[in-house]
Amino acid sequence: MAFTVHGLAVSQGIAIGRAHLISHAIFEVVHYTLRERDIPAEIARFDAALAAVRAELAQLNTEVTVPGTPSELAALVGVHALFLDDPLIADVPKVLIRERRCNAEWALVQQMEQVIAQFDEIEDSYLRERRQDIVQVVERILRALSGKPRRLSKKGATGEIVIVAHDLSPADTIQFKNLKIAGFVTDLGGATSHTAIVARSLAIPAVVGLHHARALVREDDLIIVDGRRGVLIVDPDERVLEEYRLRKRELELERSKLKRLKHARAATLDDVEISLQANIELPQDIEQVRQAGADGVGLFRTEFLFMNRETLPDEDEQFEAYRHVAKALAGKPVTIRTLDIGADKTARALNGAERQVPNPALGLRAIRYCLAEPQLFLTQLRAILRAAHFGQVRILVPMLAHHGEIVQTLAMVEQAKQQLRERRCKFAENVAIGGMIEIPAAALSLGPFLRHLDFLSIGTNDLIQYLLAIDRTDEAVAHLYDPLHPAVLRLLAQVIQTANKAEMPVAICGELAGDPQLTHLLLGMGLRQFSMHPTQLLEVKQQIVMADTEQLSAKVSRILRLDEPERIRELVERL
């Protein structure tokens, strides 16, 4: 019987294939009490399981070095290895086994629930979703304890298959390279989940957040994954199937044509030059930036250098990471965002990061945290300034809202420069400093930004979230997260137009920049700099080369006067 399930579209395209089910997690473990004399043997069994998982991850780490493997996978396997060796996972369960005389499986699951409860309190959506790393590592250990390691079946390797799972780990996704995977769908996950990240990097259609799809779909069911609309169609009739086959062929043809655009000039029909840059998280992402033909890096999220480690990266380690990217881009701009992390985050190496606050979303984070920890901030600033000697590096400061924060930040940059002078270190004296516009107060009060800074970058994910008071990761209210809300459009247009009038460079580095359906809208607002995931860049460029900014400007002005969301949506689709 045919049926349809709706979820969150995270990687565009259409996949048609047979369902291949990935088994459920195995967290419903039995609890039994050990005899005192059996405790050492139980701890030894737990240690053996840890050793087996370490060996599995080491093998997977070898597989991710194969050319063509997305750089994200190596990072994700590394994250799992770090969690595996974390005392909270590797040591605390053994304490529970001794003190409570319980079996290893039960002790491990009890500890996992404690740890993920801490992750649930984290405000940052990306970091909060890392709780799934904990779950996946624990699942792997449980399977080692049961003697049933998880590997994807080769079944279906000769035909197109669609992975259907409750959730997927990075280790699972590594195996996709060796199988003919058409797409994947999961019950869990959001826009920044591993599944979403890997799907986009592999250009595989994917839909996540389907809730109960894994339980509804049977092995070998014929299914369609519509990665544009966030739809899963199970057992489609011949009419629907033929329609989607036609759409799929059209999309494949369009994608092959897109590659021709790699070296094409990003300019509109009326000859307006547009800068298309890429967002990255780690230095090794630079290869994708090159492959996409990006004009530079518009957002380097440096917090990844600080996460999942016991000690802070020192100045030299940070310098090497930033220099690597600056040199690799050979003169193209590299925008490095300073540490966007706070007291509520799980960077355990950060002093005070474990502090609990009543409302983390409004608490000590990003630049607020950096100004409260001047030595940490100065270390990063020195590293960036030194790296700027090797390329066109710019500094981007997140979550600025107050004039005083801008002044303090600039003073810290000058202090970092003075320290480098005293040490006689080479660095760039004239590094452009910009501010992220991601708080409505900043968007509505741009004066200090225009007077003191060199460029602006709009972080649309947080700006929309704060403007509409919607936690976009909360499935209960996610449907209210609407980038086309009249208030959102007017605020974006206001920021862009105010910056343009002041001749201040302004970019968008949030999700909106990578959505080709919104490219004409943003061009019509006056945006000339976009930064997005590298895999989205050619689709956006395609929209640019077909656009006429003069015509779009007039049409978008009319859209900005509307209040009816449906009418706005209709007109945006016609742009």
Those residues with Cβ within 8 angstroms of residue 414's Cβ, 6 or more apart along the chain or in another chain:
none
Residue closest to 172 by CA, chosen among 46, 15, 21: 21
Alpha carbon 307 to chain centroid, angstroms: 14
CA distance 170 to 108: 21
Sequence-ordered alpha helix ranges (H) in 299-402: 315-328, 367-372, 374-387
Is residue 509 part of the annotated active site? The answer reads yes
- Identified catalytic residue from 80, 102, 370, 509: 509
Name residues whose C-beta falls within 8 Å of residue 74's C-beta, 6 or more positions apart in sequence. 61, 64, 65, 284
Residue tagged 């399977």 (tokens):
143
Cβ-contact 239, 212 below 8 angstroms:
no
Which own/partner pairs from 126-132 qualify as long-range (CB within 8 Å, at least 24 positions apart)?
A: 126/192, 127/307, 127/341, 127/345, 127/346, 128/473, 129/189, 129/190, 129/192, 129/193, 129/194, 129/473, 130/79, 130/346, 132/167, 132/169, 132/188, 132/189, 132/193, 132/194
Q: What is the crossing angle of helices 460-468 and 486-501, to 10°?
A: 130
> Looking up tokens 């940059």, which residue turns up?
413
- Which of 403, 320, 417 has the alpha carbon at shortest distance from 367? 403
Q: What whole-number distance in Å separates Cα of residue 526 and Cα of residue 160?
A: 43
Residue 33 structure tokens: 């009490």
Per the annotation, the verdict on 24 as an active-site residue is: no
- Pairing type for strands 14-21 and 222-226 reads antiparallel
Within 388-439, residue ranges assigned H as helices are: 403-423
* Active-site annotation holder among 194, 370, 520, 533: 194
Q: Which amino acid is at 476?
A: A
By annotation, the residues acting in catalysis are 194, 509
